């Protein structure tokens, strides 16, 4: 009995370690008291609320839901929301992998002596309030010459707020489906 146990104990972990058909067994594949896990811990090992640390599973879930499947490298809600928000201006370039959207100069119909251009950066896969940066540039026409003119910081923030509001809207729409 003892030699058999010894051999089994030594061989089985090694046997398990080799072969292409090996995979790690997840914690939620084990049962517990009367097989109660499926009823009492229906969320598996990602159940519960993270109270310390970063919830990687939730981030991965949200990233997948928000565009992981569509090939975007950045959060899809923020990306689409930015495009929507800046759509009144002509688009110069949009890089979904780098997360940058740059518009061309745009002169509002009511004020042809000033023009605006915007650069937006979508940062990361997470839908977070600091996941979007918008920088607006302004020029004024001074006797046929476009001259740079300062833009108040509040303008940038207002654009960011509009993008976030639109992203929230898009997310709640997709969640209802």
Partner 1 sequence: MRKILLGTTAAVGAALLAPMAAEAQEAPTVRVGGYFRAYYGYTQQNATSPTNVTMNQNPGDNGAVSSTGNIPGSARLGHGDFSTDAEVHVFVNGKTANGLTYGAVIEIEFDSSEGTVRSDARRAFSKKTGANIDEMYAFIASPTLGQIRFGDEDGPFGGLMNVGWVSNFGTGGAYGDFESFIVRPNRTGTTPGSVGDNTKIIYLSPQFFGLDFGFSYAANEAEGEDTGCLNSYASLNCDRAYAVTNIQSNGRSHDQPGRYNELQWAVRWRGSVAGVGLAVGANGMFSQVVRDISPSGDIRRNLRNPEVYQVGAQATYMGFTVGGGYMWGNTSFYYIPSVRGDKRMSMFFGGASYNAGPLTIGANFYSGQYAGTDAWNTSNYNADGTRAPDTVNSPRGQRRWAYSVGATYRLAPGLDLIAEYIRQEMKEPSANATPRAFSAAAPGVDRVKASVFLTGVRLAF
Question: Which stretches of the chain bind partner 1, using CB under 8 A?
Answer: 2, 5-6, 9-10, 12-17, 19, 21-25, 27, 30-36, 38-43, 45, 47-56
Name the minimum Å distance from CB 20 to partner 1: 9
Instruction: Give the shortest CB-143-to-partner 1 separation in angstroms.
Output: 58
Q: Nearer to partner 1 by C-beta: 19 or 109?
A: 19
Which is nearer to partner 1, 9 or 154 (by Cβ)?
9
d(CA 150, CA 148) in angstroms, rounded, equals 7
CA-nearest of 81, 84, 120, 87 to 102 is: 120
Select 28 or 84, whichever has its Cβ closest to partner 1: 28
Q: Would you say 49 or 154 has its CB closer to partner 1?
A: 49
CA distances from 21 to 13, 17, 18, 24 (A): 14, 10, 8, 10
Q: Which is nearer to partner 1, 56 or 70 (CB)?
A: 56
Whole-angstrom distance, CA of residue 70 vs CA of residue 76: 8
Question: Whole-number minimum distance, CB 121 to partner 1, in Å?
Answer: 24
Structure tokens at 71: 């090939």
Give the nearest distance from C-beta 29 to partner 1 in angstroms: 8
| Integer angstrom CA distances of residue 60 from 68, 80, 127, 128, 172 | 9, 19, 11, 14, 18
Q: Smallest distance, Å, CB 12 to partner 1?
A: 6
What are the angstrom distances between the C-alpha of 132 and each of 68, 110, 127? 18, 29, 9
């Amino acid at each position: 009995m003892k030699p058999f146990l010894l051999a089994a104990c030594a061989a089985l972990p090694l046997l398990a370690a080799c072969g292409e058909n090996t995979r790690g067994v997840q914690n939620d594949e084990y049962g517990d008291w009367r097989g109660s896990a499926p009823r009492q811990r229906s969320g598996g090992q990602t159940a519960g609320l993270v109270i310390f640390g970063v919830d990687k599973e939730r981030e991965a879930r949200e990233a997948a839901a928000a565009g992981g499947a569509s090939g975007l490298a950045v959060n899809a809600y923020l990306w689409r929301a930015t495009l929507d928000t800046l759509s009144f201006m002509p688009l110069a370039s949009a890089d979904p992998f780098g997360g940058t959207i740059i518009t061309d100069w745009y002169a509002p119909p009511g004020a042809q002596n000033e023009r605006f251009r915007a650069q937006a950066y979508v940062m990361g896969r997470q839908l977070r309030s600091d996941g979007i940066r918008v920088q607006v540039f302004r020029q004024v026409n001074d006797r046929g010459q476009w001259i740079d003119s300062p833009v108040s910081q509040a303008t940038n923030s207002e654009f960011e707020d509009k993008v976030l509001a639109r992203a929230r809207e898009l997310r709640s729409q997709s969640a209802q489906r």
